[in-house]
Amino acid sequence: MVDHSDQVLVIQSETEKSVHLQLKVAPEDMGKVIGKQGKIANAIRTLVKAAAVKDGRRVHMDIDQ
């Protein structure tokens, strides 16, 4: 999905009821991760949220360079 996979970093912080994920990618890969009109980013968020629901948690995800 990205050209610079060595520059992908996921930072996770958790509380009892929520998870916060910060996804950092190379500036050149931001467009690929976000996708046209944010479709790829929204799909990633949907998958992550579906997994979190199984644990009864809420999830928040940010994508940064």
Residue ranges of alpha helices (H) inside 1-65 are: 30-34, 39-54
Question: What pLDDT score does 40 carry?
Answer: 96
Question: The domain containing residue 46 runs over which residues?
Answer: 5-64
Question: What pLDDT score does 29 carry?
Answer: 96
| pLDDT tens-digit series, residues 3-62 | 999 999 999 999 999 999 999 999 999 999 999 999 999 999 999 999 888 889 999 999
Return the residue matching tokens 């996804």: 23
Q: Count up the domains in the chain and report the number.
A: 1
Query: What CATH number does the domain containing 41 carry?
Result: 3.30.300.20
User: Angle 45-36-59 (CA atoms, 0-180°, nearest 5)?
Assistant: 10
Cα separation, 18 vs 26, whole angstroms: 27
Cα separation, 28 vs 30, whole angstroms: 6
Total-model pTM: 0.81
